[in-house]
Amino acid sequence: MIPAMKKTFRLAAVLLLIPMVLCGCTASRPDDAPASASPALLLGFSQLGAESAWRLGNTRSIQEAAEKAGVALMYLDANQKQAEQIKHIRSFIAYQVDVIAFSPKVETGWDNVLREAKEAGIPVLLTDRMIRTEDESLYAGFIGSDFFQEGVSAGEFLLQKMKGQTDVRIVELSGTIDSTPMCQRGEGFRAALEGHPELQIIQSVSGDFLRTKGRECMKELLETCERIDVLYAHNDAMALGAITAIEETGLQPGKDIVIISVDGEQAAIDALRKGQINCVVECTPMIGDTIMELSKRLAAGEEIPRVTHPQERVFSEFDSDLDSLLPRGY
Ligand code: GZL
């Protein structure tokens, strides 16, 4: 499409956004952009939902970064439904956005709609979670955490914590089934425990990354398992829910049951400081600036790295700097 036509389309796209704003979706033009100027980049972003403090922080990071970068953001929330995300992507194609970015709720079922984006000549950036596809050309790159390493880090903490102990019984609260963080945090954790039969995962149930389900599932595990020594929760929301269930039985979280969690939200760091959680593996949601930088490169026709991982660390009871950590911002 020649630049002049693209410009017309884009202007039309921005005008057509009005109905979306009225229907509760959000589209934001950078405050300082003069009304007549067309935005540097029109980015369509489909967020999977608002299930955890991590997700809310991720959404805030993306919206603030778009504002800062002068990017016109067409932001839609799928409320945990893959079918909604597929509709979002079709809307972005209809509006002729410059780039499509989205956080795929689950890894499979995207080929058809991404083929439509490819045929429309719109590059796609995967954020936060990956997809599984035979056709690697359906997306330009991925920006998000190394979930397998997060699982390995959780396992490595446990090996250090339980050194010399035998018959250690572990329960796992896993995330959304078929999501990249759920699959890879589980695989990484098991890889780290390979060759340590003294550490046994006796039960694994999905709490869908939700605090309420974490509490319900942990209550059930406490009722059905003879003894639980360790809880490995794939995110802080489920770990915090599980802590409530553990306390309701009179047991002390972090002491009677060792707890390892992932994300690094403020509430989990506070629980770590109080000794209710023993290890929090960081998974940063603050990837908005990198999403804008990669999107601008795609819009300019540049190649981007296939995979971009943010810097992340592990927080645990073995650290001496817990009291000096900066506020987490999510
Ligand atoms: C990880 C992200 C996960 C978080 C959860 O990148 O997809 O989803 O770990 C969130 O808190 O719900």
Q: Is the CB of 142 under 6 A from ligand 1?
A: no
Q: Is the CB of 105 under 6 A from ligand 1?
A: no
253 DSSP 8-state letter: B
DSSP run (H or E) holding 258? strand 258-263
Give the mean pLDDT of the chain: 92
User: Which among 99, 96, 63, 103 has a CA at the least distance from the CA of 79?
Assistant: 103
Q: Report pLDDT digits (tens) over 243-286.
A: 999 999 999 999 999 999 999 999 999 999 999 999 999 999 99
Q: How many residues are present in the chain?
A: 330
Distance between CA atoms of 210 and 55, rounded to whole angstroms?
11
Q: Is the predicted pLDDT of residue 4 greater than 80, yes or no?
A: no
71 DSSP 8-state letter: E
Max distance between CA atoms of the chain, in angstroms, equals 70
* Mean pLDDT within 113-136: 98
Q: How far is the CA of 23 from the centre of ligand 1 (A)?
A: 27
Q: Is the CB of 61 under 6 A from ligand 1?
A: no
Q: 293 forms bridges with which residues in the sheet? A: none
Q: Residue 40 has what pLDDT?
A: 75
Q: Residue 24 has what pLDDT?
A: 39
Q: How far is the CA of 55 from the centre of ligand 1 (A)?
A: 6
Q: Is the predicted pLDDT of residue 112 greater than 60, yes or no?
A: yes
Distance between CA atoms of 312 and 256, rounded to whole angstroms?
28
Q: Is the CB of 51 under 6 A from ligand 1?
A: yes
Half-sphere exposure of 318 (CA within 13 A, CB side): 10
**Structure tokens of 330?**
């999510």
Percent share of the chain, pLDDT over 70? 88
The answer to whether 181 touches 234, Cβ cutoff 8 Å, is: yes
User: β-pairing, 279-282 with 314-316?
Assistant: antiparallel
The answer for residues whose C-beta is within 8 angstroms of residue 152's C-beta and 6 or more apart is 188, 189, 191, 192
Q: Report pLDDT digits (tens) over 22-45.
A: 333 455 544 554 545 567 799 999
Q: Residue 200 has what pLDDT?
A: 98
Q: Residue 32 has what pLDDT?
A: 52
Lowest mean pLDDT among 11-20, 57-66, 128-137, 229-238: 11-20
Q: Report pLDDT digits (tens) over 146-178.
A: 999 999 999 999 999 999 999 999 999 999 999
DSSP run (H or E) holding 135? none
Q: How far is the CA of 183 from the centre of ligand 1 (A)?
A: 12
Q: How far is the CA of 285 from the centre of ligand 1 (A)?
A: 8
By most ligand atoms within 8 Å of CB, the mutation choice from 48, 263, 287, 312 for ligand 1 is 263
**Phi and psi, residue 71, nearest 5°:** -100, 130
Q: Report pLDDT digits (tens) over 53-109.
A: 999 999 999 999 999 999 999 999 999 999 999 999 999 999 999 999 999 999 999
Given the CA of residue 53, which atom of ligand 1 is nearest to it? 11
Q: How far is the CA of 232 from the centre of ligand 1 (A)?
A: 15
Q: Is the CB of 150 under 6 A from ligand 1?
A: no
> Atom 3 of ligand 1 has which residue's CA nearest to it?
181
Q: Is the CB of 208 under 6 A from ligand 1?
A: no
Q: Is the CB of 185 under 6 A from ligand 1?
A: no
- Alpha helix (H) ranges present in the chain? 3-22, 53-69, 82-94, 111-119, 147-161, 180-193, 211-224, 236-248, 266-274, 288-299
Q: Residue 1 has what pLDDT?
A: 42
Q: Give pTM, 2 decimals.
A: 0.90
